[in-house]
Amino acid sequence: MVTQSQFSQIQFQAVLNNFSMLYNVLKAVNFADNAMVYLSNDGIQVTVEDAKSIQASAYITRACFSEFKLNPRGNAQAVDGDSNEPNIPFGLNLKVFTDCLSMFISGDYNSSLKMLQKGSGAPLIVILEQNGDDNLITECSVRTMDPFDCMELDVEDEQQIVSKINIKGMDFFLLLSEMDRNCDDIEVIISPDAPHLKFKTFGELHSEACVEITNSSDMLVTFNCTEASRNRYKFQHLKLAMRTLALSSKVALRTNNEGLLELQVMIDNNDSSHIFVKYFILPLVYDVDMTTFN
- Write out the chain's pLDDT in tens, 294 residues: 454 444 557 899 999 988 999 999 999 999 999 999 999 999 999 999 998 899 999 999 999 999 999 986 644 344 444 444 557 999 999 999 999 999 877 665 678 999 999 988 899 999 998 876 667 889 999 999 999 999 998 887 778 899 999 999 999 999 999 988 788 899 999 999 999 999 999 877 667 789 999 999 999 999 999 999 999 999 999 999 999 999 999 999 999 999 999 999 999 987 789 999 999 999 997 543 444 334
pLDDT for res 163: 96
Q: How far apart are CA 202 and CA 236, in angstroms?
A: 12
Q: How far apart are CA 248 and CA 88, in angstroms?
A: 28
**Which overall architecture, per CATH, does domain 158-281 show?**
Box (3.70)
Q: How far apart are CA 7 and CA 19, in angstroms?
A: 22
Which region holds residue 259: left if phi is over 0, alpha if psi is between -120 and 50, else beta? left
| Residue 136 parent element (H or E) | strand 136-142
| Residue 130 parent element (H or E) | strand 124-131
Closest CA to 255 of 287, 230, 286, 219: 230
CA 65 to chain centroid, in Å, comes to 18
Q: How far apart are CA 186 and CA 122, in angstroms?
A: 43
What is the DSSP pairing of strand 34-40 with strand 43-50?
Answer: antiparallel
Q: How far apart are CA 241 and CA 263, in angstroms?
A: 8
pLDDT for res 220: 96
For the chain, give every residue range classified as CATH 3.70.10.10: 8-145, 158-281
**Which overall architecture, per CATH, does domain 8-145 show?**
Box (3.70)
pLDDT for res 77: 41
Q: What's the predicted TM-score (pTM) here? A: 0.88
Contact 101, 119 (CB under 8 A): no
Contact 79, 70 (CB under 8 A): yes
